[in-house]
Amino acid sequence: MTDDAEQPQIYLITPSEVELSSYPETLARLLDSVEVACVRLALGTRDEDRIARTADALRDVTHARDVALVIDSHMLLADRLGLDGVHLTDAARSVRKARKDLGEDAIIGAFCHNSRHDGMTAGELGADYISFGPCGVTPLGDGRQAEHELFEWWSTMIEVPVVAEGALDATLIRDLAPVTDFFGIGEEIWDAESPVAALQDLQRAML
């Protein structure tokens, strides 16, 4: 997962619930249609067996296409299941441990809401990317929002790649495209009649 392209790249987030009989095929079609830098397995369940079976199925799809697969929060599972890394949701608190446990080659990301301080701390501790969000208005969460000014400041001052995610739409993507490295897109497309078409529409807004 790199930020070597001037145009932002797509960082795809799975639905919180995945139907194993159909979702891997849906993901394969999507990855064959749209260039994606990384996929994040973000299941809502704590059932390790279900997480493991889903990770196995998606790893086959992503790795066949040279796309990295990371997992939300579960450091132990990331290593055990042969995934490429972990996306931490507790800002900078677990970054040092994740780096120690998973090694230098693992992708370690940290979601930091809209906190510059947490983002900088996570980066200093070894995170490969920092994620800020939600970028749009959503009834979920605690009301915090990551606004354009944060991404503009980060892109000017900090070298660690940054992900914009949460309640995105084409207008927000056009606004943030010059100041972010990746767009974390998930819930925005999965309910669409054609997730591929929905993602292509959002990708066009990045140009």
Instruction: Judge whether residue 92 has pLDDT over 70.
Output: yes
Query: How does strand 162-165 pair with strand 85-88?
Result: unpaired
Q: Report the half-sphere exposure of 101 (CA within 13 A, side-chain side).
A: 16
pLDDT at position 1, please? 59
Instruction: Judge whether residue 148 has pLDDT over 50.
Output: yes
Instruction: Judge whether residue 142 has pLDDT over 90.
Output: no
pLDDT at position 141, please? 73
Average pLDDT value for residue range 70-76: 95
DSSP state of 188: H
pLDDT tens string 171-193: 999 999 999 999 999 999 999 99
pLDDT at position 89, please? 96
Average pLDDT value for residue range 186-204: 97
Q: Please work out, in degrees rounded to the nearest 5, the angle formed at the alpha carbon of residue 23 by the alpha carbons of 50 and 14.
A: 75
pLDDT at position 73, please? 94
pLDDT at position 143, please? 81
- Per-residue b or e along 91-116, where b marks 16 or more CB atoms closer than 10 Å to that residue's CB: bbebbeebbeebeeebbbbbbbbbbe
- What the chain holds in terms of domains, given with CATH numbers, is 9-205 (3.20.20.70)
Average pLDDT value for residue range 126-132: 98
Instruction: Judge whether residue 158 has pLDDT over 90.
Output: yes
Average pLDDT value for residue range 36-46: 97
Largest CA distance in the chain: 45
| Percent of residues, the chain, with pLDDT higher than 90 | 94
Average pLDDT value for residue range 138-156: 91
pLDDT at position 172, please? 98
